Amino acid sequence: MNSAMTSSADSILSKLTVSPQTIQEGKRAEHSLDNISSPLAEITSPLSRNSSTRSMRVTGARRIPNAERERRSSRRSASATTSMSPAQAFLLSWNREGITAEPAQERPDDEGKSFGSKTKYIIGRTINQGGFGVIKEAHTMTDSGQKLVLAVKIVRKAVTEGESADGDKLHQDLEHEVSVWRWLEHPHILRLHEVYESEFATFCVMDLNVGGTLFDEVRKCRASAAQNDGRKGLKPKLARSYAYQLASALRYLHQDMRVCHRDVKLENCLIDMSVAAAEREEGGNLRLCDFGLADFLHSDSTVDEVSPERSGIAPPTPAHSRHPTTSSVIGTLEYASPRGLSVNRKLFETAGDVWAFGVIVYALCTGELPFRHPMPAKTVELILQAEWDDGALKRAAAGSDAVIELVQGCLEREIGGRWTVGEVLGSVWFEGCGGGRRGGEGGW
Ligand SMILES: Nc1ncnc2c1ncn2[C@@H]1O[C@H](COP(=O)(O)OP(=O)(O)O)[C@@H](O)[C@H]1O
Ligand SMILES: [Mg+2]
């Protein structure tokens, strides 16, 4: 377990009582995706969730009543005035010196502002601004005086009447994300350290990732295909290494933690390049992030099989018109499995993550998504047929019978025939990875 986080007196969610076994209630959300876009294309107002490129979230995590929020935040602001360590004093002076001209309208999440118990962190530059809020650098010092740069996800609270519905929804989503993420500790999963709540926002402190995402890697390799004898995709060694690291993370989630991610996609695979030179040569360290749609698996499969009407994901639909639509997708359309599009899907199926993993392996090898059409309705059709171009995979730089067998196992239409993550890790393509261990038994 994450000791740094659980020991934090200010960790708001350590006080929450969200049951790990609770299936969330879903909400219907419009979702039209006609392009795969860079995370940078997701920029919208920090409090708006209406970006068409965002993953769809279901809500229902327990909410913190207003009175409770106030009690917690007032306790927190009181703690900021208590005595400071030398490290904290240094950070505070950095904070004051760093600001020469005050911005017209200061916000507590501006660069140079502090947050956390005894002003432990100073906010740095913006890394990514999404529909949920913003990700920024967070500077701190250890008690031994070592400077550290981490990252912080900041989700603002509603400040005006008009923002209140959006702001509350964002906070429910974040609380849910943290209620799963806080338990996870694995070399290929982005680590959450601490969570703070103020009257203004919630701050999730996590490891800083330097190096972009798998989406960026695929985009780069598309641009350089011509230099590689026209053979598309990542170099075989890199494609295999990233795929193996992602499979290791999914094995940990599915088998050890009984968690389903439900938003496995290129943009949610961070590539950490702040590693030793030798490891950089190998492509760096992959870290899966974004647990906004993740949830604990339910042990009772009959309860798991909730109807969309009950879950709130889709409105009541007449029996005759029960066909898949893009508006009933949870996650991102291009990565959704045939069952994930079905109105009778199980909500928390690990098989959906394995399908999305197959989509990623195909994209790493070919530079293209296997199911993609400018018209979302056509993309749905392609997914339902589960037909993808194995010729493209064969012609790819990393193409081989072994990788085709692996992708076939993951993009199997019927859930019964689809591989589990243990079978994925035991595939011929991964022979020799992770010290040669096979079959899902430790080592990853
Ligand atoms: N710890 C981090 N360090 C660096 N970049 C990050 C970090 N966490 C997230 N990002 C960037 O921000 C993007 C959005 O973060 P994510 O948690 O996936 O939120 P969203 O719910 O908006 O998809 C990621 O795709 C990645 O590019
Ligand atoms: Mg994301």
Q: What's the CATH number where 400 sits?
A: 1.10.510.10
* Same structural domain, 381 and 268: yes
User: Which of the listed residues 178, 262, 264, 270 should we mutate to test ligand 1's pocket, taking the one with most ligand atoms within 8 A of CB?
Assistant: 270
**What residues are paired with 128 via a beta bridge?**
135
Determine whether the shortest distance from the Cβ of 209 to ligand 1 is under 6 A. Answer: yes
The alpha carbon of 23 and the centre of ligand 1 are apart by a number of angstroms equal to: 25
The alpha carbon of 426 and the centre of ligand 2 are apart by a number of angstroms equal to: 28
Determine whether the shortest distance from the Cβ of 259 to ligand 1 is under 6 A. Answer: no
Q: Can you tell me whether residue 379 is helix, strand or coil?
A: helix
Q: Which ligand is nearest to the CA of 176?
A: 1
Nearest alpha carbon, ligand 1 atom 23: 290
* Same structural domain, 139 and 275: no
Question: How far is residue 151's CA from residue 191's CA, in Å, rounded to a whole number?
Answer: 10
User: Which of the listed residues 126, 289, 332 should we mutate to test ligand 1's pocket, taking the one with most ligand atoms within 8 A of CB?
Assistant: 289
Residue 108, domain member (yes or no): no
pLDDT of amino acid 147: 95
Determine whether the shortest distance from the Cβ of 128 to ligand 1 is under 6 A. Answer: yes
Q: Which residue has the tokens 């990565």?
A: 335
Determine whether the shortest distance from the Cβ of 39 to ligand 1 is under 6 A. Answer: yes
Determine whether the shortest distance from the Cβ of 215 to ligand 1 is under 6 A. Answer: no
> Which contiguous run of DSSP H or E holds residue 365?
helix 350-366
* Same structural domain, 338 and 310: yes
Nearest alpha carbon, ligand 1 atom 22: 130
Residue 26, domain member (yes or no): no
What is the β-pairing status of strands 192-197 and 147-156? unpaired
Determine whether the shortest distance from the Cβ of 380 to ligand 1 is under 6 A. Answer: no
* Same structural domain, 289 and 399: yes
Residue 271, domain member (yes or no): yes
The alpha carbon of 431 and the centre of ligand 2 are apart by a number of angstroms equal to: 30
- 153 Cα nearest atom in ligand 1: 8
Residue 68, domain member (yes or no): no
* Same structural domain, 415 and 274: yes
CB 46 within 8 A of CB 156: yes
CB 131 within 8 A of CB 54: yes
Q: Which ligand is nearest to the CA of 274?
A: 1
* Same structural domain, 270 and 145: no
Q: pLDDT truncated to tens, each residue of the chain (444 aa)?
A: 444 443 343 343 433 322 222 223 233 223 222 233 333 222 222 222 333 334 655 433 333 334 333 333 333 233 333 455 555 655 655 555 554 555 567 888 899 999 998 889 999 999 998 777 899 999 999 889 999 999 999 998 876 656 666 777 888 889 999 999 999 999 999 999 999 999 889 999 999 999 999 999 999 988 776 666 677 899 999 999 999 999 999 999 999 999 999 999 999 999 999 877 777 777 899 999 999 999 999 765 333 333 333 333 333 333 333 455 555 677 889 999 988 887 665 656 899 999 999 999 999 999 999 999 999 999 999 999 999 999 999 999 999 999 999 999 999 999 999 999 999 999 999 998 976 444 444 444
CB 408 within 8 A of CB 355: no
Residue 46 DSSP one-character state: T
Residue 47, domain member (yes or no): no
Residue 353, domain member (yes or no): yes
Q: Can you tell me whether residue 367 is helix, strand or coil?
A: coil
* Same structural domain, 398 and 263: yes
What is the β-pairing status of strands 192-197 and 269-272? unpaired
Give the total number of structural domains in the chain.
2
36, 425, 431, 440, 442 from 436: Cα distances, Å: 35, 11, 6, 11, 11
Helical residues (DSSP H) of 116-235, grouped into ranges:
164-181, 214-223
User: Which of the listed residues 127, 205, 214, 285 should we mutate to test ligand 1's pocket, taking the one with most ligand atoms within 8 A of CB?
Assistant: 127
Determine whether the shortest distance from the Cβ of 269 to ligand 1 is under 6 A. Answer: no
* Same structural domain, 295 and 423: yes
Which of 189, 206, 223 is the last residue before a domain boundary? 206
- 290 Cα nearest atom in ligand 1: 17
- 213 Cα nearest atom in ligand 1: 27
**What residues are paired with 164 via a beta bridge?**
none
Q: What is the CATH number of the domain that holds 147?
A: 3.30.200.20
Nearest alpha carbon, ligand 1 atom 7: 209
pLDDT of amino acid 280: 77
Question: How far is residue 23's CA from residue 362's CA, in Å, rounded to a whole number?
Answer: 31
Q: Which residue has the tokens 């999404």?
A: 130
Question: How far is residue 43's CA from residue 40's CA, in Å, rounded to a whole number?
Answer: 6
What DSSP line would sit under 70-121, residue for residue?
Answer: HHHHHHHHHHTTS---HHHHHHHHHHHHH-SS--SS--TTSTT-EESGGG-E
Determine whether the shortest distance from the Cβ of 132 to ligand 1 is under 6 A. Answer: yes
* Same structural domain, 144 and 194: yes
Which of 173, 206, 239 is the last residue before a domain boundary? 206
Determine whether the shortest distance from the Cβ of 206 to ligand 1 is under 6 A. Answer: yes
Residue 72, domain member (yes or no): no
Residue 97, domain member (yes or no): no
The alpha carbon of 55 and the centre of ligand 2 are apart by a number of angstroms equal to: 7
Q: Which ligand is nearest to the CA of 269?
A: 1
Which of 206, 228, 249 is the last residue before a domain boundary? 206
**What residues are paired with 194 via a beta bridge?**
205
* Same structural domain, 199 and 240: no
Q: Which of 146, 274, 280 is nearest to 209 (CA)?
A: 274
Helical residues (DSSP H) of 20-85, grouped into ranges:
66-79
pLDDT of amino acid 91: 60
Q: Which ligand is nearest to the CA of 153?
A: 1
CB 122 within 8 A of CB 112: yes
pLDDT of amino acid 344: 62
Nearest alpha carbon, ligand 1 atom 9: 135
The alpha carbon of 392 and the centre of ligand 1 are apart by a number of angstroms equal to: 30
- Note down the domain range covering 196: 114-206
* Same structural domain, 218 and 238: yes
CB 183 within 8 A of CB 257: yes
* Same structural domain, 276 and 321: yes
Residue 66 DSSP one-character state: H
